[in-house]
Amino acid sequence: NEPLDTVRGQYDAMIGSLRRADGGRRGSCPILAVDTRLNLLRINVLANFEDEQMDAYIRTHNVILNPLHKQGYSTIGCNRCTTPVLPGEPKRAGRWRHLGPWSVYCGINPTDLDPLRAPAVDFPQDLIDRILGRSTDFMI
């Protein structure tokens, strides 16, 4: 988490991109979680996006992709923690090889390490609607 320590206390919330479709501990990542270390709310807006939904969004909205994806990098992190994924490996196998098995996480997302450090927050739907200023079509 060290890279983020420099912003501790400067923000009330952080938008992340964790997706349950990534599997492993992220298979149950919360949409909203309290990060007690950084003292902020983490909002994982893509938590419910399946791979097919992500692909469709990218195509529909002409999202520019990192060129490393075409070189075998199915997920991309920092340059020391990311390698191409080999045929037959899980899509996140290229991450953190130097730390051990592919299921190891670097720790920048506290829910990857210990869900109790970043407990999910259960907000009533009407509160979510008021915060967003509109009706929503999802439940947390």
Cα separation, 61 vs 59, in Å, equals 6
Q: What share of the chain is helix, strand, coil (3-state, %, to 5)?
A: 30, 10, 60
The answer to whether residue 81 is catalytic is no
Q: Which long-range contacts (CB under 8 A, 24 or more apart) does 26-30 make?
A: 26/111, 26/112, 28/115, 29/109, 29/111, 30/111, 30/118, 30/120, 30/121, 30/140
Catalytic residues, by residue number, are: 106
